[in-house]
Amino acid sequence: MTNLAIFDLDHTLINADSDNTWPQYLMQKGVVDAEFVRMKNDKFYQDYLNGCLDIDEFLQFQLAPLTRFSMEELAVMHREFTQAFILPHISPMAKMLVQSHRQTGDELLVISSTNEFIITPICHLFGIENIIGTQLEIGANGRYTGGYIGTPSLKEGKITRLNEWLAARGETLQSYGKSYFYSDSKNDLPLLRHVSDPVAVNPDEVLLQEATEKGWPVLNFM
């Protein structure tokens, strides 16, 4: 029976937070108000680390700049972003982990609270095609509207989105022999507790404590 290997992205497969570094890229490029964006970006990142992020308020902030550019312009910008802010933070150990699951024939899936525009090309760097991120609304003009669709994939939302993905394939989690989930954050404890084989990667203090108490494997890619 095939196993399902689920990966978080930020600080798990990459040693950076793509949701946090995308605004840094926009500031560096000079296309946003640097002082305002830096203040809001720092606040939201701290809220996420503290486990109290207001996802609606954050997405309103994060998605607004996308509305100003065409899909073609955003594709060019994302390549620049990846080169400067993502590639230097991909560890060989993360690539080896993904490859080990691929070689054993496991189904590979990334679930991230970061939006699909940011994460999809990054996941492709690992050869992963099954990708769940916060879904973005596209208007009749073919541009992002600044809104999102469905349930954001944060905390319990990751279980909701996983179940939707499985249902669309005519599956449940029990369709797989084992279900692995690799994550760094206490925000992912709902899904870590939901799978058969949770693994902590570069864990924060809260996750490390639970992993230690429950005997979960702990990996460090930093």
List residues with catalytic annotation.
Answer: 8, 10
Residue 122 CA to residue 16 CA, distance in Å, equals 12
Tokens at 222, concatenated: 């930093």
Residue 82 CA to residue 64 CA, distance in Å, equals 20
b/e sequence 110-147, b meaning 16+ C-beta within 10 Å:
bbbbbbbbbbbebbeebebeebbbbbbeeeeeebbebe
Distances (CA, A) of 104 to 24, 99, 158: 38, 9, 25
